[in-house]
Structure 1
């Protein structure tokens, strides 16, 4: 992108009071952003309000600083071939994803950072041609975290690109699972849509993960460089997560969560919504259960997702009926357990349970139970939860 074109886009996006909808009206009327700023006031007022028109004729005071920052960000990657590529995709670019273009409020600009083979081989549209969004709680249960990682890996192996928001918890686990799958160089393993500028990744604890995503997938933001983590931006970016995707899979979610916003947006965009059920006693499952009551597709395996999407994805192979487990967990599950441990797992069930309840259910003394629970935890069959609770894992 030439500097004059970049300047015009940044000026349009940075003009106070001019949002996406007004900007799209201006582009529809005048073409490229450069054409907008040579129009007389009367012509601009034919598309936007008088206040907006006057604002468009006065360049924002921070415009040149933003242009310089953006050019330096782009040029740094261009000058160092060992770095992930960086580019900007605008609404009219051939690489702009059609699925996102078809939504009610597509972003005008997308900042992209990712594998050079992807961004130079057709852009975001080609790199994530078949996407599935995976979202969920920032404070998942151990089983929820495992489900996110293992489903993401299985679905990536079937050819889908996993889209999420780089948040703590389910988002991070979904990205991790997609990165664990065998490489498929023609498409992105995973796409992370962030709520900050790409030069200020949030949360800080996921910066290493963001770097791995940039080497095998793509980081995406609609926000200018330097944008800090503002609370209002995260729900807004969810429309991009769902808009890039054929459907959205909610792994775990409380009743008041951003994941349900993403699911609602997916439904409004005409995309599939999937949900994994959980324990009736777990707060993290209540959002999923609410979605299921509203008509979301119940998911027990990666196959369930692929069957629903098969009409949109002809010729794709299906994965096994259940997502693969980690090698360590699978190995533990294959070793026959002593009868007393099998009996304990049966008594525990799959709902979180405290030690006192297990004593009452099994008739064992607390000390003996703790010994067996510790061994099951070390073998990956049981997880210890906050509050002194234990939960059986799916491989138990």
Structure 2
């Protein structure tokens, strides 16, 4: 075994022992230095530092098969295994107070050193929220700011896609092992990020999607970035956890406002009341961060090649209906009152507008007009 492989093996041996958590790992590294020195120090010295039971786990656990699996994985082209001692380990995580012992990464490892912004939000996002996330991310990436998110459905996925539209790319921090894709619906996106961007995990290979791992993933998203943008979030959203962690770490927190009637705006509005910066464009964020990259002038980034964002022409009666709707969600009874039209006529018109991409149907027989930039 080469010296480099042996050194990595020692890090993995320390990091892959069940029952030995981050606090114990840090205590051992503080006391003895590198992992090789930990295991060379002897049972009595280890027990004096972390106790008899932890010493027994460290010295008696056989995890060689897991170690070899991880070492072989790291030697596959495009895969990377970073330890706290590696120069490529991001300094922003080291300063966060709880850095993972090991990071598993796939893709453009240099993105870990890039200036970056986190973008998070609802998994059940509206069409408007998805387009906002894509547009903000595309503009930020074009300006040289890497977009970081968590590969979830909804806002996360849209942010990653937008980030891939620009040269700064995107980083996906995931809550599973780096050899697993979750959710499966984002499999194609994950494969693209692994080539054009970067996928990062602190969890051992093969780790399934366990619920308690995702808040841990969120702390890395908050820590590695200069700030966090919340696009859409309900009051109970996990995105607010990421925003809170960002604030506690001294990072900037941004939020996009929305309709006062939309549940997915409540979380953003709460953040704004608590001091998050209200933003309407990517340029607002870049200016707040004093970022000297390429300027962004448009409120909405151009769509990818082949995408259609121009609103199709509609009949005068439909235009009148859109005017009456406004941009807040509205139920069918209120629309009947405003328009003096029957529900049957309204549903027919709304179906046509929905097919044209001008209106989005929401739960509870509610509808919302989409701006032309989204249609």
TM over 0.5: yes
- The answer to whether 1:375 aligns with 2:360 is no
1:267-306 superposed matches below 5 A:
267-306=247-286
Matched residue, 1:164: 149
Asked whether 1:103 is paired with 2:96, we answer yes
* CA–CA separation in structure 2 for the residues paired with 1:296 and 1:273: 5
Show CA shifts across 1:62-93 (max 9, x none): x1110222133233x23xxxxxx001011121
Inter-partner Cα distance in structure 2 for 1:365 and 1:272? 49
Tell me if structure 1 keeps the 8 A contact 2:28–2:49. Answer: yes
**1: distance between equivalents of 2:277 and 2:320?**
33
Q: How many equivalent pairs are there?
A: 369
Q: For the residues of structure 2 that align with 1:175 and 1:24, how far apart are their CA atoms?
A: 33
CA contact under 8 A between 1:329 and 1:380: conserved in structure 2? no
Distance 1:328 1:138 in 2: 23
2:371 maps to 394
**Matched ranges for 1:88-237 at <5 A:** 88-114=81-107, 118-119=108-109, 123-126=110-113, 129-179=114-164, 181-182=165-166, 184=167, 187=168, 189-237=169-217
CA distance in 1, matches of 2:349, 2:19: 63
Cα distance between partner residues in 1 of 2:223 and 2:121: 17
Paired residue for 1:347, among 311, 320, 324? 324
Structure 1 gaps of 5+ residues are 79-84
- Pick which of 299-308 and 45-54 moved more: 45-54
1:81 aligns with none
8 Å CA contact 1:190–1:218 kept in 2: the answer is yes
Which residue of the partner structure matches residue 69 of structure 2? 69
Q: 1:25 aligns with which of 20, 24, 27?
A: 27
Residue equivalent to 1:34: 36
Residues 329 and 395 in structure 1, CA contact (< 8 A), matched pair in contact too = no
SS at match of 2:49: coil
CA offsets per residue over residues 32-71 of structure 1, 9 Å max, x none? 111100113343245323332332222x23x111022213
Distance in structure 2 (CA, Å) of the matches to 1:250 and 1:256: 13
Equivalent of 1:250, from 220, 230, 241? 230
| Deviation readout 1:4-52 (Å, 9 max, x if unpaired) | 2222112211234322122123223322111100113343245323332
Query: In 2, distance between residues paired with 1:372 and 1:159?
Result: 43
Tell me the equivalent position of 2:296: 319
Q: CA deviation at 1:339?
A: 4.2
Give yes or no for the alignment of 1:47 onto 2:49. yes
Contact 1:274 1:296 in 2 (8 A): yes
